[in-house]
Chain A
Amino acid sequence: RKEVEQDPGPFNVPEGATVAFNCTYSNSASQSFFWYRQDCRKEPKLLMSVYSSGNEDGRFTAQLNRASQYISLLIRDSKLSDSATYLCVVPNQAGTALIFGKGTTLSVSS
């Protein structure tokens, strides 16, 4: 299994749709997980942190399944401004580095 693997995408959805991204990770000892958002040619920006079974922030919900080593990100009521690449990110074992997935591209259209 690759260190961090994500849905390849792209996801093309209309405004108002609900969309979910999946991510699997290989390090079973990982305790924290992150979803970052990256706009074209910009820096990754932290969207959500996940330390227990899940986290919710407005329209965004992240869920963690430790047994399956699987993280998901759910976006409800998609907005045009949600169009971006969503990066699943897991720290290395020592916590000294972040390991990034390749990202899933979301395009929301009107």
Chain B
Amino acid sequence: EPEVTQTPSHQVTQMGQEVILRCVPISNHLYFYWYRQILGQKVEFLVSFYNNEISEKSEIFDDQFSVERPDGSNFTLKIRSTKLEDSAMYFCASSEGLTGGEYEQYFGPGTRLTVT
């Protein structure tokens, strides 16, 4: 069964450093997403991406964040200068079509980011 994969599973970084989180969406999916979940809190939407551009972003997704699809398979989330409050689990997801149109999103196993 196709699945979304993410690397690394755990990333520890120092405050102010840049990190890149990587995702390989399901191969025939066209829409890609990043979500985050701070420990003990709900899953929060960060950004959605379609046709090589951002289609929606939340208030959390400020100038410190960027996304890219550098090749035909990878989808990355970059945090330029990490803060302590960026510590969270980051989930990548993908879907065949827009979720409001009866397409479901499938999530990767997540990258746990710890900023010290």
Contacts and interface: CB of A to CB of B under 8 A. Distances in A.
A102 B43 CA distance: 8
A29 to B, nearest CB: 9
A101 B42 CA distance: 7
Contacts of B56: 92, 94, 96-97
A65 interface: no
Given A41-B89, A42-B110, A96 B104 contact: no
A26 interface: no
Contact of A49 (B45, B48, B91, B104): B104
Interface in A76-110: 87, 91-103
28 contacts: A31-B100, A32-B99, A32-B100, A38-B43, A42-B109, A42-B110, A43-B109, A44-B43, A46-B104, A49-B102, A87-B43, A91-B99, A92-B45, A93-B100, A95-B98, A95-B99, A95-B100, A96-B55, A96-B98, A97-B48, A97-B56, A98-B35, A98-B45, A98-B93, A98-B99, A100-B42, A100-B43, A102-B41
Interface residues of A, number: 27
Nearest to B100: A95
Nearest to B33: A97
A9 to B, nearest CB: 13
A36 to B, nearest CB: 8
